[in-house]
Amino acid sequence: MRVDPTTGEAVPLPAAPQGTQGRWKDAAGERLRLFVYVARGSTTTMLAMAMATLFVLVAILGPAILPFDPLASNPQAALQPPSADHWFGTDNLGRDVFSRVLAATRLDLGIAFGAVALSFVFGSLIGALSGYFGGWVDAVFGRLIDVIMAFPLFVLAMGIVAAAGNTVENIVYATAIINLPFYARIVRSEIAIRREAGFVQAARLSGNGDLRIIAVHLFPNVLPPLMVQLSLNLGWAMLNAAGLSFIGLGVRPPTPEWGIMVAEGSNFIISGEWWLALFPGATLMLAVFTFNLLGDGLRDLVDPRQRT
Amino acid sequence: MSRISLVAGRIALSLPTIFGVIVISFLLTRALPGDPAAYFAGPTATPESIAEIRHSLGLDRSLPVQFLAYLQDLATGDLGRSISTGQSVLSDLLTRLPASLELTFLALLISLLVAIPAGILAATRPDGIVDQATRFLVTAGVSLPTFFTGLLLLFIFYFKLGWAPSPLGRLDILYLPPPQLTGFYLVDSLLAGDFETFRAALAQLALPAITLALFTMAPIARMTRAAMIAALGSEYIRTARAAGLSRRKVLFVYALRNALLPVVTTLGMVFSFALGANVLVEKVFAWPGIGSYAVDALISSDYAAVQGFVLTMALLFVTLNLLIDILYTLLDPRIAHES
In this prediction, residues A76-90 reach a mean pLDDT of 75
pLDDT of residue A7: 46
CB-CB contact of B106 with B205 (8 Å): yes
The residue among B140, B137, B118, B111 whose CA lies nearest residue B217 is: B111
CB-CB contact of B283 with B289 (8 Å): no
Where do the H-state alpha helices sit in chain A? 20-41, 43-61, 97-133, 135-149, 153-164, 168-194, 198-205, 210-212, 219-246, 258-269, 275-302
Q: Give the least confident one: A205-219, B7-21, B51-65, B211-225.
A: B51-65
Residues in chain A closer than 8 A to B225 (CB atoms): 308
pLDDT of residue A2: 45
pLDDT of residue B204: 86
* Long-range pairs of B60-67 with CB within 8 A, sequence gap ≥ 24: B63/B30, B66/B30, B67/B23, B67/B26
pLDDT of residue B339: 47
> Which positions ≥6 away from A89 have C-beta within 8 Å?
A79, A80, A81, A82, A83, A97, A273, A275, A276, A279
Percent of chain B whose pLDDT exceeds 70:
92
In this prediction, residues B168-177 reach a mean pLDDT of 76
Q: A164, exposed or middle or buried, with CB in 10 Å at 0-12, 13-18, 19+?
A: middle
**pLDDT, averaged across chain B:** 82
Residues in chain B closer than 8 A to A236 (CB atoms): 142
Q: What architecture is domain B96-291?
A: Orthogonal Bundle (1.10)
The residue among A292, A269, A266, A271 whose CA lies nearest residue A112 is: A292
Give the Cα separation of B173 and B222 in Å (integer).
40
pLDDT of residue B338: 54
pLDDT over 90 at B56, yes or no: no
* Torsion angles phi and psi, residue A2, rounded to 5: -135, 170
pLDDT over 70 at A57, yes or no: yes
Q: A-contacting residues of B 262-301, CB under 8 Å?
A: 271-273, 275-277, 279-280, 283-284, 294-295, 298-299
3-state class (DSSP) for residue B217? helix
pLDDT of residue B121: 85
Residues in chain A closer than 8 A to B29 (CB atoms): 163
pLDDT of residue B89: 86
- The DSSP letter of residue A216 is I
Give the Cα separation of A144 and B39 in Å (integer).
32
Percent of chain A whose pLDDT exceeds 70:
85
pLDDT of residue B32: 61
In this prediction, residues A117-145 reach a mean pLDDT of 91
pLDDT over 80 at A210, yes or no: yes
pLDDT of residue A115: 94
Out of A40-49, A201-210, B122-131, give the one with best mean pLDDT: A201-210
More reliable by pLDDT, B270 or B63: B270
Q: DSSP string spanning A137-177? A: HHHHHHHHHHHHHTS-HHHHHHHHHHHH-SSHHHHHHHHHH
pLDDT of residue A11: 44
- For the segment B115-163, what is each residue's pLDDT rounded down to a tens digit? 888 888 888 877 777 777 887 777 787 888 888 888 888 888 888 787 8
Q: Give the confidence band of A125 by pLDDT, cuts at 50, 70, 90.
A: very high
pLDDT of residue A121: 93
pLDDT of residue A110: 92
Give the Cα separation of A126 and A14 in Å (integer).
43
> What are the residues facing A11 on neighbouring strands?
A2
pLDDT of residue B41: 64
Q: Give the least confident one: A114-118, B48-52, B281-285.
A: B48-52
pLDDT of residue B330: 77
Residue B144's alpha-carbon distances to A45, A55, A182, A190, B281, in angstroms, are 19, 18, 21, 31, 12
Give the Cα separation of A162 and B307 in Å (integer).
9
Overall number of domains in chain A = 1
Give the Cα separation of A40 and A18 in Å (integer).
31
> Which positions ≥6 away from B216 have C-beta within 8 Å?
B107, B108, B111, B115, B270, B273, B274, B277
pLDDT over 90 at A114, yes or no: yes
Q: DSSP string spanning B105-154? A: HHHHHHHHHHHHHHHHHHHHSTTSHHHHHHHHHHHHHHH--HHHHHHHHH
**pLDDT, averaged across chain A:** 81
One-letter amino acid for residue B303 of the chain: Y
More reliable by pLDDT, B33 or B249: B249
Judge whether B161 is closer than 8 Å to chain A, CB to CB: no
3-state class (DSSP) for residue A96? strand
Q: Give the least confident one: A166-175, B25-34, B297-306.
A: B25-34
CB-CB contact of A135 with A233 (8 Å): no
Return the axis-axis angle of helices B3-30 and B63-75, rounded to nearest 10°. 130
pLDDT of residue B34: 56
The CATH number that applies at residue A232 is: 1.10.3720.10
CB-CB contact of A88 with A98 (8 Å): yes
The b/e string for B169-202 (b: 16+ C-beta within 10 A; e otherwise) is: ebbeeebeebeeeebbbbbbbeeeebeebbebbe
pLDDT over 90 at A177, yes or no: yes
pLDDT over 80 at B180, yes or no: no
Q: B-contacting residues of A 266-305, CB under 8 Å?
A: 266, 269-270, 272, 274, 277-278, 281-282, 284-285, 288-289, 292-293, 296
Give the Cα separation of A271 and A268 in Å (integer).
5
Q: Give the confidence band of A38 by pLDDT, cuts at 50, 70, 90.
A: low
One-letter amino acid for residue B297 of the chain: A
pLDDT of residue A124: 92
Helix and strand numbers, DSSP H then E, in chain B: 15, 0
Residues in chain B closer than 8 A to A281 (CB atoms): 145, 147-148, 151-152
Alpha carbon A299 to chain centroid, angstroms: 14
Q: How far is A113 from chain B (nearest CA, A)?
A: 17
Q: Give the confidence band of A35 by pLDDT, cuts at 50, 70, 90.
A: low
Judge whether A143 is closer than 8 Å to chain B, CB to CB: yes
- End-to-end CA gap in chain B: 6
pLDDT of residue B31: 67
pLDDT of residue A23: 54
> Which positions ≥6 away from B297 have C-beta within 8 Å?
B82, B84, B303, B305, B306, B309
Judge whether B303 is closer than 8 Å to chain A, CB to CB: yes
Q: Which domain holds residue A90?
A: 3-306
pLDDT of residue B286: 86
Percent of chain B whose pLDDT exceeds 90:
6
